[in-house]
């Protein structure tokens, strides 16, 4: 459901936002495997290690405790992406929390990453 909702938004942002196009066009050559490795590491760190480690001590507050550094790690990327990661990081955390796995947020993040690169490069 989340992928269905995000796909038109990503398509619109990739076509209509020059900062997204300038930032992401350079990643087209390594698709999809460099994006796979990159985002697997991100999701393992934020939703695998940080979320579940903090959850033992802080419970549901761990959702925000992993979302804030996740958003901060996006500084330097296009502004619209950085701002969206505050809530996106929480949403990914919630999915990981509910499924007890970082695999599902990883797959969603990988889809989003590949799609935005393809759209920004004008492939789709």
- Which residue from 51, 24, 52 is spatially nearest to 38, judged by alpha carbons? 24
Which residues, 6 or more positions from 104, have their beta carbon under 8 angstroms from its beta carbon? 95, 96
Q: Give counts: helices (H), strands (E), the chain.
A: 7, 0
pLDDT, one tens digit per residue, over 41-99 is: 999 999 999 999 999 999 999 999 999 999 999 999 999 899 999 999 999 999 999 99
pTM for the model stands at 0.88
Residue whose pair of structure tokens reads 């760190």 in the numeric block: 45
Q: Is the pLDDT of residue 1 over 70?
A: no
- Taking CA 8 as the corner, what is the angle to CA 28 and CA 40, rounded to the nearest 5 degrees? 45
Segments making up each domain of the chain, as ranges: 31-120
What single-letter DSSP state applies at residue 102? S
């Amino acid at each position: 459901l989340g992928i269905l909702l995000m796909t038109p938004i990503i398509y619109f942002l990739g076509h209509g936002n020059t900062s997204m196009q300038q930032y992401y066009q350079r990643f087209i050559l390594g698709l999809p495997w460099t994006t796979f490795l990159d985002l697997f590491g991100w999701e393992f760190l934020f939703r695998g290690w940080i979320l579940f480690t903090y959850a033992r001590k802080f419970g549901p507050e761990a959702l925000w405790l992993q979302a804030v550094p996740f958003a901060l790690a996006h500084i330097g990327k296009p502004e619209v992406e950085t701002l969206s990661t505050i809530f996106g990081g929480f949403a990914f955390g919630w999915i990981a929390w509910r499924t007890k796995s970082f695999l599902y947020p990883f797959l969603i993040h990988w889809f989003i990453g590949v799609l935005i690169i393809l759209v920004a490069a004008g492939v789709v």
